[in-house]
A and B are shown apart, each in its own frame.
Chain A
Amino acid sequence: MWQWLYKLGSPRHFYEMTSTFLPWLTFVTYFLLIVGLVWGLGFAPRDYQMGDNYRIIYIHVPLALGALWVYVMMAVMAAMHMIWNIKVADMVAKSCAVVGVSYCAVALFTGAMWGKRIWGVYWIWDAKLTSFLILFFIYIGVMALRSAFDSETSASKAASVLTLVGIVNLPIVYYASVWWNTLHQPPSRLSLSAEGANPPEIWIPVFFTGFGLIGLVFLLVILRTRNEILWRERRAQWVQDLVKQELSRA
């Protein structure tokens, strides 16, 4: 296990290992997403209070949780880069920022579409929404800071530090609706019986889209990291051989 993790720290091994399981990851991710979306949009029963508008939750909730999850990944990678100076960790962190900011944007947009019908407004400055908007800006800040340096080493260091500082916002986003009275509802309690507030017919599709969108996080981060590896390791012999191979295949 440790040796396996240790090997992933080498750009070449990371590239080769991801080559073998990328097709599987792609297949599982697409399968989960297609099942979850079709089920959620067409087959899950209508909510008796919110009508069909509630069908937005099948993407809104997993995207919002996904955006938080990507940040945790990015922070762990930033810490690993700072402590052990692992190059791959920094490349993964760089990829995480782009994926995270896209999840944030869609979570905010789908939230606005929901809010308009349920609360009567697209946006309100309550604790949950505002702290989530700050998460969006932190992602943008990390990306901007990284691109502001000419030297790759300084860029990675600065981005890692900002990423670690930004962790402070995560519990605020997650617990905002518990700590304060927000218009945004706290996390729902799921019930196993059909009589409960949130019966399984409603929430099972969320698990499909949820795991599908987490799979998509890994898929997108890996695809981006592989490009980054090719570029940063461009002087290595194995990359030069790989480029030649691609040339002969094309």
Chain B
Amino acid sequence: MPDFQFASLGDFFAMGGYAFYVWAAYLFFFAVMIWNLLQPRLERRKVLKLLQARQARESNAAARAGE
């Protein structure tokens, strides 16, 4: 098991003076990947709702036609 390379947590966040570049890169990476993972799940919910509404409409129409 390799050792933790930084003396303290503060050192870790400082990234040897490159904090801005390293953390900006990782922050953007996480932001985009979280969007990537959330978007299809929200989309799925939207599609299912649309299809449910469509089914309800069709069964209503069928019921009315049967009267």
A residues apposed to B, CB below 8 Å: 39, 41-46, 51-53, 55-56, 59-60, 63, 99, 102, 105-106, 109-110, 113-114, 116-117, 201, 216, 220, 223-224, 226-227, 230-231, 234, 239-240, 243-244, 246-247
Contact = CB atoms under 8 A, between A and B. Distances in A.
Contacts of A43: 2-5
Contacts of B43: 224, 227
Contact of A223 (B6, B32, B40): B40
A109 B25 contact: yes
A46 B16 CA distance: 9
B12 A42 contact: yes
A230 B22 contact: no
Interface string B4-45: 111000001001111001101110110011011100110110
B59 to A, nearest CB: 10
Contacts of B47: 227, 230-231
Interface residues of B, number: 32
Contact of A240 (B18, B22, B28, B55): B55
A231 B12 CA distance: 47
Nearest to B28: A109
Interface of B: 2-6, 12, 15-18, 21-22, 24-26, 28-29, 32-33, 35-37, 40-41, 43-44, 47-48, 51-52, 54-55
Contacts of B22: 52-53, 55-56, 113
A105 B29 CA distance: 9
Nearest to B3: A43
A45 B40 contact: no
A39 B33 contact: no
Contact of B36 (A45, A102, A116, A244): A102
Contacts of B41: 223
A110 B21 CA distance: 8
Contacts of B2: 39, 43-45, 201
B51 A59 contact: no
